[in-house]
Every structure is written in C-alpha cells, then in structure tokens.
A and B are shown apart, each in its own frame.
Chain A
Amino acid sequence: MRAIVVVAIVSFALFAHRDGCAATRQRPATAMRVDGDWAMPAHDYATTRFSPLSQINAHNAVRLRPRWTFSTGVLGGHEGQPLVVGNTMYVVTPWPNVLYAFDLARAGYPLKWKYRPDVSATAIGTSCCDSVNRGAFFADGKIIYNLLDGHTVAVDAATGREVWKTKIADVGDGETTTMAPLVVRDRVIVGASGGEFGIYGWLKALDLHSGRIVWTAHNLGPDADMLVRPGTFKPPYVSGTELGTRSWANSTWKRGGAPVWGWISYDPKLDLIYYGTGNAGPYNPEERRGDNRWTSSVLARKPEDGALVWAYQFTPHDSWDYDATGAMILADLDIAGKAVHALVHFDKNGFAYTLDRATGRVLVAAPFTHVNWAKSIDLENGRPVLNPAKATGISKGNVKDICPSLEGGVSPASPAAYSPRTHLFYTSTNNLCMDYAASHVAYLKGTPYIGVTSPYMAGPGGKLGAFIAWDAATGRMVWKDKEPYPSWSGALVTAGNVVFYGTLDGWFKAVDARTGKLLYRFKVGSGVVGNPISYVGPDGRQYVAVYAGIGGDWALLAGDTRSDDPADMRAPADFMKDIARHTSQGGIVWIFAL
C-alpha cells in the first residue's frame, strides 16, 4: 500500500514537470529528463536502459497483462524502441520510416499525427542486413531520427511538421543510416552504416536548430580527416601521428569501412561522447594488412568540435567481421575496492570489456560466451592473445569452427542494460560458431564489398542463445537463462528488480534481476529484435512497451519466416530450420501493465 502512495506522489510531480516542459521548450534535452519519460534511445546519456520505476516488481510481475497493441503496417525488422514524452508515445518504423505519435491520454491511444517521409527504395538494397531503424531522440521539442536513405530529420513533436531535413550520407556510395542519433546541447550526433559496401566511415554533428552539418570526423584515414589535433589525442596503448593511415597497407583505409550503426553515450562531467565503429572491409583481411585503426574500436570525442580524445581497438586487424558498434555503457563501479568511472561494452568478438572511460585503458576483459579466436585480452598492451589456428584470409582457405560467428557473441543491435541497484549488466548473447572462407572481391561503387562464405553452426551445448547477468567489476557471469534461438533483443532493467527482454521465437519475458527466474511471459506474434522501455502513463501507472517484428539479420538467415513476397521462396537456415514454426514477420507495438 505504501509503495502505491509514493508512486502516486511521484506521478503528480511528473505532471507538474511536464507542464513546465511545454512552456519552456527551448531548454536543452538534459533539463527535460524526468523519471517517468523515456526521451532518448537508451533512457539516459549513460545508455543504461535502467528505469527508476518500481511499481512492477519481482513479486507482482506475474500479474502483467498486455494493455494495447498497434500494427505499424510494416514488416521489416523492428529494432530500436519507442519514446514516451509526456502523454505521447513516438514510434519509428523500419523503411519507409513512418513516425507515429500516439495520444496516451485518450482511450485506445489514437494517433495525434503521423509523419510520412519520402524515403528512397534504393536504400533497401544498399542495407546489408534488412531496412531497420534503431530509434529516435527527443530534444528541444523535436523528434530527431535518421531515414534509411541517408537523411536526418527533425519533426515538431507537437504537430508532426518537418522542421528540417539534412542529407548526411550517400546511398550511391554504399552509405545508409540505421542508427539512433544522440543530442548533446545543440549538437545532433549521427553516423552511417556501410561496412559491407566499402565506405569511408564517419561521425557527424548537425546543429539542433537548423540541421546544418557542423563537423565531420572520419573514423580512419589521415589525422586531419579524423579530427586528431595536436595535444588532445591520447590513445592508451599507442602513440604517434597518422595512425589511421599507417595501420593500413596500400592506402586501403579509403574503403576500409568503420561504419557507425549502433549507439552513442555521453559523459557530461568529462564532456565526452563514446561510440563504437564497425568492421573493416573487405572481409578478406589479407587485402588490408595492418591493424586497420580505428575499425572495431571505441572512440571518445568532444561533442562541440568533434576532436578525438582517445580510441581503443577491441579487435585489431579484424578478420572475423567483429563490429564494435554495440553500446558503450557508462557506470561507476567498485573494482577491487576502488571507485572507477567505467565504460562497459559487450563486443561481437565475445569479450566483455570494462574500461576507464577517462583514458580508454582496459581494466577487465573476459569472455561472456564461447570464444576461440583469442585466448584472452592482455591488459598490459590491450591486445587480444590470438589463436593462430583461427586466423583467416585467402591464403588460409576455409577456416573451420570459429567462435563466435560473425553474428557476434551478442549483436550490437541488442543493447545491454545496467542496474545501479544490483550493480549487474544484463544482455542477450548468441552461441553460434562459423566457418570462414575469404575470397577476393573487387570494389564496385554502391555494391557489396564483402568476399566471404561463412556458414554458421551451433556452439557448445546446442542451444543457440542465452540471456545473462554479468558482473563487470570482476568479469564474471552471475546467471544465465538459455534460449533455443539466438537472443536478439535489447534489455531493460527496472528499480523493481525486473529485467525484460524478448526472444526470436516471439516470447516477451520478465525475469528476476537477481536470479534470472522467469516471472512472466507472453507470446507477442513475431520474433523480438527491439528493445523494451518503461514509462509512467497519464494515469500514474508504470507501463512497459516493446516492438515485435523479426528482422535484421534473422529475417535474412531464416528467410522462410517471410510470407509477404510470393517471388522469394527460401529453404530454412540449416542451423535453425524450425524457427518458422514459431514466428513470421510482423510489426507490432505492445504495451504491458499490471
């Protein structure tokens, strides 16, 4: 009873705050954050995906029920997450990137408006892995997100009118835009996908008010292009100038990839943004000898002018398509009795890293799934201790049984969550291995620049996925819930000590944050590759929302989950022939409550 009273007071305070927001829309996004909203992709700048709400807890989660659903009308992979600001929920669909605004204050949540941009269909064929979108950002009274065809738009959150639209990427060069922007003060930070199309990867900042491009920072190439300025760039393990060209034989950096298709975090005290870069291209590493900096890396930059402050490469000379575009979660941890301002990252390469986020030095690194390409990470020099039997390239032929597969120990599209209550991280994982036969590939502008055949197989034990709890201070797994299929959704953890995630075979689950015990599950109509969120509705109650809609790589690999194209019939993926027994394509917004 007492808990309910407290929540009612909190929600009353929220309404007051919301009214204040409406009156002062020009205030920066940081001042707008209130506990009951979900106004940015990962809830907060630290990208914790932690909700401070506690109405739903481990004791009552069994009473969760679906309260509302909506068909988006689109069948692509529904990655990303809705936003809730005040009494409005915002939903971005996969291509053609429709933006819906739902009125949560009225019965049945009718549309306030919808925004239908004109997005080129050509971009569908220039996307490596389905025409997905990873979400929007609310700032300054605007909903800001990327269209697949290389544009960023700002839409008036109250009216649905387009405020500005800026071309940031060139589909003709193999660039598409699937990532979720981050807004810091008056900078909108964006990046592009295209690691499979030989792009010259970058991060850009646009002006929040006009959409004008303020700076462009490449992730590889000459210091001048990377915004490496004398005296400000201090990578923890290497030194010298022109690291972004000297680590590439024969100027191969020009088509070297390093896309930005995941998440960006921000530390206001250090005034640094953090983001990961994707794989090096092409997939045959012998065509780009050297460490290939800064692919498969984390980069720290100043949001104001883009200056590079430090960078650390998780997978030097990437030879397995191990993108590092997964979330960089900022958490203050106690590591062996010492308070550390940490950055925690679960990499496709199967290692979980705990870094000092001021310097980029690795403090803890340990595998969170079955790994055999490297034995460990050397904390002295930050480099993986390689297993030479798993090195790839044309001269190596078909290299068998590499773990994890190029789908990753976790997909960067499936961001982890961190709870300051339990001090644990929660993440989806995959248990897949692969063979890897590299081949020569010629660069043809705007076409795939890949060059590998890489069939997958189940890792040890045969279960293809798991959802885990992880102690990043020690590098240890705390609990593990095995899943029959690769686990491909993001995580949500709440102050009620409930963790939410969805599965590829279409279950939405609530589990106990301390034990992993299943508390509630519901079959949501299509596989889940999106990220759950939690918010306070206009009635003061806590809600949880998530998309259902299988896609991303999994629509491609298990193409028999499609039913919308009579001209495209495929055999089931041979490592999980039965997934289509349990799901088909969809596009559904779900809302749950007690």
Chain B
Amino acid sequence: MLPPGTPLHNPYGGDATVARAGAALFTSMNCDGCHGADASGWVGPDLGDGRWRYGGSDTDVFRSIFYGRPKGMPAFGGVVGADGVWVLITYLRSLPAPADEPTESWPQR
C-alpha cells in the first residue's frame, strides 16, 4: 500500500513497443472517436499538444483515464485496467509536439 498522495509512476515510460500497443488500444477503445485520429482533438481535447485540462503528471493523466472526468470523459479503468491505462499513457507521451503554425503562415483568401 502507498501512503495517500504518493505520485504514481508509469512502469512503461519511454518504451516504444508499449507505445505502439497503446496506439492500437487508443483506437480499439474508441478514444479516437472523441479525441480524433492521432489524438489531435475532436470533441475531446488534443492530447498531443503538451497541455492538460486536468494536469499533465503521470498521476493526473492516470486519474483522468482510470476514473473519467466531467464534460464526458468516461471512466476506462474498469475496461482496460490499471495496466491498460499505463499503456495508453505511454502512447500519448510518444506523440510528437505539433508544429507551431503562426498566423502569418496561413494563406490569405
């Protein structure tokens, strides 16, 4: 047992093989239906932009996926288990940061 408040730790952090499994799990759990292909955002927020509505630590992201959040994020802990949540987080951490596209680069019409 961990004392309350102890940060959680991703056992797979940085593992490229696990990240690929996480990409498959992201699709098979219909995460892409809300967060978009490549987690780039749809009705749910972009998950690859390095910004986090409910905090970006491993502990915060674990809680978001395991227990769900208001505004429609379901609790997936009961479906994928703690291990599955870490696999998903490993995938999200592997996403490349989006390119910064300044307004001036957009075409004018």
Contact = CB atoms under 8 A, between A and B. Distances in A.
Contacts of B71: 121-122, 124-125
B7 interface: no
Nearest to A130: B43
Contacts, number: 94
Contact of A566 (B30, B51, B74): B51
A439 B30 CA distance: 11
B-side binding surface: helix, strand, loop or mixed? loop
B80 to A, nearest CB: 11
Contacts of B98: 569-571
B4 interface: no
B3 interface: no
Nearest to B103: A581
B79 interface: yes
B106 A121 contact: no
Given A123-B72, A125-B72, A567-B52, A577 B30 contact: no
A303 interface: no
Interface stretch (A180-188, A251-259, A442-450, A471-479): A442-450
Contact of A444 (B29, B40, B42, B109): B29
A122 B34 CA distance: 13
Given A565-B45, A566-B51, A577-B101, A571 B40 contact: yes
A129 B45 contact: no
Contacts of B107: 577-578
Contacts of A121: 70-72
A453 interface: yes
Among A125, A129, A442, the one with the most B-chain Cβ atoms within 10 Å of its Cβ is: A125
10 shortest A-B CB distances, which residue pairs? A125-B72, A448-B33, A568-B45, A567-B53, A578-B106, A447-B30, A577-B106, A567-B51, A569-B49, A121-B70
Interface string B89-109: 000000000110101011111
Contact of B33 (A122, A449, A565, A572): A449
17 contacts: A121-B72, A124-B72, A125-B44, A125-B74, A130-B43, A442-B30, A447-B29, A450-B30, A484-B109, A559-B46, A565-B53, A569-B51, A569-B98, A571-B98, A577-B107, A580-B103, A580-B106
B41 interface: yes
A140 interface: no
A128 interface: yes
A129 B53 contact: no
B27 interface: yes
Given A127-B43, A449-B33, 9 more contacts: A439-B27, A450-B33, A559-B41, A567-B52, A568-B41, A570-B41, A570-B46, A571-B98, A578-B106
Contacts of A567: 45, 51-53
- In the complex, which range does the number of interface residues on chain A fall in? 35 or more
A379 interface: no
A569 B101 contact: no
B43 to A, nearest CB: 6
Contacts of B16: none
A448 B30 contact: yes
B28 interface: yes
Interface string B13-29: 00000000000000111
A356 B99 CA distance: 53
Interface of A: 121-130, 196, 439, 441-442, 444, 446-450, 453, 484, 556, 559, 565-572, 577-578, 580-581
A-side binding surface: helix, strand, loop or mixed? loop
Nearest to B29: A444
A130 B71 CA distance: 12
A196 B36 CA distance: 13
A12 to B, nearest CB: 49
Contacts of B73: 125
A559 B49 CA distance: 13
A208 to B, nearest CB: 32
A581 B40 contact: no
A567 B37 CA distance: 18
B46 A568 contact: yes
A578 B108 contact: yes
B41 A441 contact: no
Contacts of B74: 125, 446-447
B37 A453 contact: yes
B13 to A, nearest CB: 22
Contacts of A449: 30, 33
Nearest to A576: B109
Contacts of A569: 46, 49, 51, 98
Contacts of A129: 43
Given A125-B44, A446-B74, A568-B46, A581 B30 contact: no
Contacts of A126: 72
B30 A122 contact: no
Contact of A568 (B29, B53, B103): B53
Contacts of B27: 439
A484 B72 CA distance: 34
Contacts of B32: 448
A196 B33 contact: yes
Given A124-B72, A568-B41, A577-B101, A447 B106 contact: no
A196 B32 CA distance: 12
B41 A442 contact: no
B35 to A, nearest CB: 10
B109 A447 contact: no
B49 A568 contact: yes
Contacts of A441: 30, 33
Among B34, B52, B98, the one with the most A-chain Cβ atoms within 10 Å of its Cβ is: B34
A513 B52 CA distance: 49
Contacts of B28: 442
Given A447-B30, A450-B30, A450-B33, A570 B40 contact: yes
